Structure formats: C-alpha cells, structure tokens
Amino acid sequence: MTETKRIIFIVNPISGTTGKKRILQLIESRLDKEKYSYDIVTTKYQGHATEIARAAANQGVDIVCAIGGDGTVNETARALVHTDTALAIIPCGSGNGLARHLHIPVDPVGAIKVLNEGTVLPMDYGLVNEHPFFCTCGVGFDAFISMRFAQAGKRGPLTYAENILKTGLQYNPETYDVEVEGDEDATNKTSYKAFLISCANACQYGNNAYIAPQASVRDGLLDVTIIEPFGPIDAPAISFQLFNGTIDKNSRIKTFRCKKLHIHRQDRGAIHYDGDPIETGKDVDVEIVPQSILCVASSKEGMVAPAENIQNFIAEHFNDMYLRSEELLQRNIIMTQRIGKLNSDIMRKLSGRKKE
C-alpha cells in the first residue's frame, strides 16, 4: 500500500471571494484520502501564512496548499523555495494570476482535481530588491495602481478597472535607466521614458490580463515588458491587447527576456511584487531564480485561447455566485436558529412571569 502524503491547507479567511466554508467542505468530500492526509490552518495576521508554511517545510510536509488570493500564494510560496515541500493552490482571490498561468481552475472542484492528480513540477521564481515574487513585479503605473488598489478598501476586477480609468491618463510617466544581464534581445544599458516596466515570471497580472503573453515559469528567464507613454487614442487598443494576449505586438510596447535587470529612477517610489506594493529607493534589482520551487499543477502553462477564456469567465462567475449563495444560505440558517432561540427564551420568561 502506498504511503499517504501529508498536506497542510492554509486558509486566508479575508482574502478575495467568499465561500471558504464551501471549499473546506469540498476538500473533505473530494480530496483523495487514499493519497493524502491533511490539516487545515487559518491565518490570523499578515505574514502568518509564511510562518505556517515554513514550519510545515521544516517538518517535511509534502504539500502546502494556499487557499486565497495572490497575496496568500506569495506568502505561502516564499517559505517553500529551495525545499522539498511543494506548493499547491486553491485560488479564491481577486486576480489569481499564478493559478491561471498554471491552468489551475478557479472552480475549487477543478482545483482539487488537479491536486488529486498530483503532478509536481519545478518552477522558477523572481526576486525584486530581495522580495520573492512568483507571477509579476514592476515599477511605474502598475505599482502605483497596486498601491491605490491596496488602499481602496474593497477588491475585485471592478475596483481595479475603476482605479485604472480614473488615473491612467493623468499618470505622469518616469524616465528609467535600465541595465540587463543575460538578455536575448536588449542592449546592455538603455534609458526609457515609460508608463510602466513589468518583469514577469508568469504571463499575467491576474484576471486574464496578459502583460507577458509568452512568459514561462520554467524557462529560467524574466519576460520584461516596457510600455511607452500613450494618449487617449491609444488607450483602448492597449487595454484590448492586454486582455486578448497580443500586447507584445503593439508598437508602443518593448519586450525582451533576461536573467537580471537593474532599474534606476530619479526618485524613490512604489514597486509591486505579485500585486503587493511597497515603497523603495531609486534602484530596483530584479532577477530570476530558476527551478527553485516545486508546485502541484497541470503540465500545461501560459495563456489560454480566447474561446477558453470566455468559457472560464462564465464558469468562474457562476461558481462565485454559487459559493456566495451557499454562504448566504448558511448565514440565514444560523440567523434563523438564533432568532428562534431568542423567541423561545422570551416566551419562556413571559410564561414564568404569568405563573407568578
């Protein structure tokens, strides 16, 4: 009989979409118990997922599965680099960039199916000023928007789009000195006035916004995308190309691949890694670390066909509504039970007074 592997599920109770109770029920009913034993741990504060995952790796746990959004995935994965413990993902965030790139379904039933199949593959990760990232990092407008998004108080693609529409055309592009190492196409040192510079390990930011359509998490290279300043006339085309995976064909976009990248800007400012923004200095160093984390995923990766994108979009939103309705139903049941108990207590007290 094959020895079961151990999984720790890390649940972020506040990230992304609701419906986590339903996901836990699906784990209990659909996870292959002949293959896996498991425990579930809930995070209590920022950075807790890293602590849980690091302890699991030190104990020799086979797989740590992040249940949450890109932030939870990043916190979990950073503790698993250079270990024998594999990362798994049940995505339920607002973007789910890495999961989408790895063809892990946003539908939790599909994500658990990938987990049951148990395909473990090595993948690259990146470092930006020593902060690990697994999907994308960047400077310029995307870092600025990430900062605004983090301060918005609510999440989701509509909030993200609202911030882009409100500030995109008023954003003031910066000048960056860029020096590359191990590049395929770029000159060694160049100055760019740029709307943004994105360094990608995976192909998208999340929500199927493909900033680097040709990126692979297994090629040992960063895919760098530089968007030059543009006006209102160019904005619709760039937005359309971002979501249909052809942004690298735009004449205002420069792309190349490299192993290391040094960016110098005139002033300190924001950078982001996997959508999390931080303030940092004038110098930004980015590098790829090849084949240094194990991940449970489909053997496929990268951009999906437009038709499949539409199917996925419909399935995801139907699933999200289903999970939300399930949670709402459970809340209503609990509330009804509480009201019933309260009524019983009131009637009992009133009956007691009448007897006196």
Predicted structure pTM score: 0.81
Q: Which two tokens stand for residue 193?
A: 């006035």
Residue 335: inside a domain, yes or no? no
Among 124, 66, 64, CA closest to 91: 66
Question: Average per-residue pLDDT in the chain?
Answer: 84
Residue 219: inside a domain, yes or no? yes
- Side-chain half-sphere of 276: how many Cα atoms within 13 Å? 18
Residues in contact with 348: Cβ distance below 8 Å, sequence separation at least 6, in sequence order? none
Residues 250 and 114 occupy one common structural domain: no
What domain range is 16 assigned to? 5-118+305-330
Residues 169 and 46 occupy one common structural domain: no
Residues 177 and 270 occupy one common structural domain: yes
- pLDDT score recorded for residue 325: 52
What share of the chain has pLDDT > 70, as a percent? 76
Distance of alpha carbon 137 from alpha carbon 222, whole angstroms: 10
- Side-chain half-sphere of 223: how many Cα atoms within 13 Å? 24
- pLDDT score recorded for residue 159: 47
Cβ atoms < 10 Å from Cβ of 87: 28
Residues 22 and 143 occupy one common structural domain: no
- pLDDT score recorded for residue 231: 80
- pLDDT score recorded for residue 314: 47
Q: Which two tokens stand for residue 309?
A: 């994108």
Whether the pLDDT of residue 163 is over 70: the answer is no
Written as one letter, the residue type at 270 is A
CATH code of the domain in which 71 resides: 3.40.50.10330
Strands (E), 141-244: 174-181, 189-194, 196-200, 222-227
- pLDDT score recorded for residue 307: 47
- pLDDT score recorded for residue 297: 93
Whether the pLDDT of residue 157 is over 90: the answer is no
Q: How far from chain centre, in Å, is Cα 263? A: 24
- pLDDT score recorded for residue 17: 54
Written as one letter, the residue type at 44 is K
- pLDDT score recorded for residue 145: 75
Q: What is the largest CA-CA distance in the chain?
A: 94
Residues 11 and 104 occupy one common structural domain: yes
Residues 157 and 284 occupy one common structural domain: yes
CATH code of the domain in which 212 resides: 2.60.200.40
Whether the pLDDT of residue 165 is over 70: the answer is no
Residue 342: inside a domain, yes or no? no
Total domains in the chain come to 2
Residues 98 and 237 occupy one common structural domain: no
What CA dihedral angle connects 57, 61, 62 and 63, to 10 degrees? -70
